[in-house]
Structure 1
Amino acid sequence: MSLPLILQPGEGRSVQIRTSTCTFKVTGKDTHNHFGLFEFVMAPETDGASPHIHKQLTEIFYVVEGHVELVLNQERIAAEAGALMLVPENTSHGFSNPGSVRAKLLIMFCPADSREQYFEGLAELTKDGRQPSQEELLDLMHRFDQYLPPEATDG
Structure 2
Amino acid sequence: MSLPIILQPGEGQSVQIRTSTCTFKATGKDTKGQFGLFEFVMEPGSTGASPHIHKQLTEMFYVVEGLVEMVLSDRTVAAQPGAFILVPENTPHGFSNPGQTPAKLLIMFCPADSREQYFEGLAELTKDGRQPSQKELLELMQQFDQYPVP
Question: How does 1:121-136 map onto structure 2 within 5 Å?
Answer: 121-136=121-136
Q: For residues 65-114 of structure 1, give each alpha carbon's deviation from its aligned partner in whole angstroms, at most 9, with x where no partner exists.
A: 00010111121111110001100000000100011100000000000010
What corresponds to 1:84 in structure 2? 84
Counterpart check, 1:26 vs 2:23 = no
Q: Is residue 48–residue 97 contact of structure 1 (8 Å, CA) maintained in 2?
A: yes
SS class of match (1:55): coil
| 2: CA distance, partners of 1:55 / 1:119 | 18
Partner AA of 1:47 in structure 2: T
Task: Say if 1:2 and 1:32, in contact at 8 Å, map to a contact too.
Answer: no
Match of 1:56 in 2: 56
Matched with 1:44 is 44
Q: Hey, what does 2:11 align to over in structure 1?
A: 11
CA RMSD of aligned residues (A): 0.7
Residue identity in the other structure for 1:20? S
The whole-number CA distance in structure 2 between the counterparts of 1:3 and 1:55 is: 31
Name 1:119's counterpart in structure 2.
119
Determine if contact 1:2/1:29 at 8 Å carries over to the other structure: no
1:142 and 2:142 matched: yes
**TM-score using structure 2 length:** 0.98
* Secondary structure in structure 1 of the residue aligned to 2:29: helix
Q: Does 1:95 align with 2:95?
A: yes
Distance across 2 between alignment mates of 1:111 and 1:69: 24
Aligned counterpart, 1:66: 66
Q: TM-score, normalised by structure 1?
A: 0.95
The whole-number CA distance in structure 2 between the counterparts of 1:57 and 1:121 is 19
The residue type paired with residue 77 of structure 2 is I
Which of structure 1's runs of 4+ aligned residues deviate more than 4 A? none
Q: In the comparison of the two structures, how many residue pairs are matched? A: 150
